[in-house]
């Protein structure tokens, strides 16, 4: 859930830690990434990764080298991290950039699709300041940007509970 929408209820626990949204999303997204990318990636950015649950799953299950890039700097013990705002210009450093509910990093994660493979699961409209966009309109607006920029993309309904489970798997534009 976005930081903009604070729930009054206590979030459910995953592995003893409290999170908003479906607590299974970290494990399920890690499994999806493993099935989709397998050994073709090694170095992964978990952008806006918060405490680093996804990073931990990706390392544990798939042995990827993963770092969280999130200015909060709240990561769990043993998770590599850089406590800075993420910038798309750093994308080529990674084989895969993942933005799971990336809030204010959404634009930089989408722009990373020009340089490297991405998995993007938006949760709120941190994409356009000039328009109110619900989930589906937000996805359409991002698709428009991919198409303008020749990013190859697939819309995916990720295997965890919605509504914030729609997103994209992308590959950079083909070189001519
Ligand atoms: C809704 S939380 C999502 C955390 C985690 N991915 C999850 O699914 O639970 C959004 C995160 O975005 C981080 N964030 C905000 N601005 C950022 C930026 N410019 N670069 C990287 N992370 C950012 C926040 O610190 C916060 O941890």
Tell me how many domains the chain contains.
1
- Cα–Cα distances in angstroms (integers) from residue 158 to residues 4, 29, 45, 49, 155, in the given order: 22, 7, 19, 17, 9
Does 104 contact ligand 1 (Cβ within 6 A)? yes
Give the residue-averaged pLDDT of 45-55. Answer: 98
Query: Is residue 64 situated within a structural domain?
Result: yes
Give the residue-averaged pLDDT of 53-79. Answer: 97
Query: Is residue 83 situated within a structural domain?
Result: yes
Does 23 contact ligand 1 (Cβ within 6 A)? no
Q: What is the predicted pLDDT for the residue at 16?
A: 46
Does 113 contact ligand 1 (Cβ within 6 A)? no
Query: Is residue 8 situated within a structural domain?
Result: no
Q: What is the predicted pLDDT for the residue at 3?
A: 52
**Residue found under tokens 């909060």:** 72
Query: Is residue 11 situated within a structural domain?
Result: no
Does 49 contact ligand 1 (Cβ within 6 A)? yes
Q: What is the pLDDT of residues 95-145, one digit of tens each?
A: 999 999 999 999 999 999 999 999 999 999 999 999 999 999 999 999 999
Kindly report whether the peptide bond that precedes residue 172 is cis, defined as omega within 30 degrees of 0: no
Q: What is the predicted pLDDT for the residue at 145?
A: 98
Query: Is residue 121 situated within a structural domain?
Result: yes
Instruction: Name the phi and psi angles at 69, rounded to 5.
Output: -115, 105
Q: In a 3-state reduction of DSSP, which class is residue 85?
A: coil
Q: What is the predicted pLDDT for the residue at 120?
A: 98
Widest CA span of the chain, in angstroms?
Answer: 52
Q: In a 3-state reduction of DSSP, which class is residue 38?
A: helix
Looking at the predicted structure, is the pLDDT value of residue 60 above 60? yes
Does 31 contact ligand 1 (Cβ within 6 A)? no
Structural tokens at position 28:
């399920």
Domain of residue 51 covers 21-171
Which residues have a Cβ under 8 Å from the Cβ of 39 and sit 6 or more positions away? Answer: none
10-14, 28-32, 111-115: least confidently modelled range: 10-14
Q: What is the pLDDT of residues 156-176, one digit of tens each?
A: 999 999 999 999 999 999 987
CATH number at residue 75: 3.40.50.150
Q: What is the predicted pLDDT for the residue at 66?
A: 98
Query: Is residue 14 situated within a structural domain?
Result: no
Does 74 contact ligand 1 (Cβ within 6 A)? no
Q: How far apart are the CA of 21 and the centre of ligand 1, in A? A: 13
Structural tokens at position 176:
């001519």
| Ligand 1 atom 20 nearest Cα | 85
Confidence band for 21, pLDDT divided at 50, 70 and 90: confident
Looking at the predicted structure, is the pLDDT value of residue 91 above 90? yes
Give the residue-averaged pLDDT of 1-26. Answer: 58
Q: How far apart are the CA of 176 and the centre of ligand 1, in A? A: 35
Query: Is residue 7 situated within a structural domain?
Result: no
Give the residue-averaged pLDDT of 79-83. Answer: 98
Does 56 contact ligand 1 (Cβ within 6 A)? no
Query: Is residue 117 situated within a structural domain?
Result: yes
Q: What is the predicted pLDDT for the residue at 10?
A: 46
**Inter-residue contact 81 to 73 (CB < 8 Å):** yes
Burial of 18 from C-beta contacts in 10 A (0-12 / 13-18 / 19+): exposed
């Amino acid at each position: 859930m976005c930081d903009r929408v604070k729930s009054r209820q206590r979030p459910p626990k995953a592995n003893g830690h409290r999170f908003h949204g479906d607590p299974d999303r970290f494990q399920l997204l890690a499994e999806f990434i493993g099935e989709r990318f397998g050994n073709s990636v090694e170095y992964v950015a978990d952008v806006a990764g918060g405490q680093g649950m996804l990073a931990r799953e990706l390392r544990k299950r798939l042995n990827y080298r993963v770092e969280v890039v999130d200015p909060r700097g709240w990561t769990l013990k043993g998770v590599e991290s850089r406590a800075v705002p993420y910038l798309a210009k750093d994308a080529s450093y990674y084989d895969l950039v993942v933005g799971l509910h990336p809030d204010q990093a959404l634009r930089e994660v989408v722009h990373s699709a020009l340089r490297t493979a991405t998995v993007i699961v938006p949760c709120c409209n941190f994409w356009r300041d000039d328009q109110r966009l619900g989930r589906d309109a937000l996805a359409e607006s991002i698709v428009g940007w991919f198409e303008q920029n020749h990013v190859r993309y697939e819309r995916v309904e990720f295997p965890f509970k919605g509504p914030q489970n729609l997103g994209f798997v992308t590959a950079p534009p083909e070189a001519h």
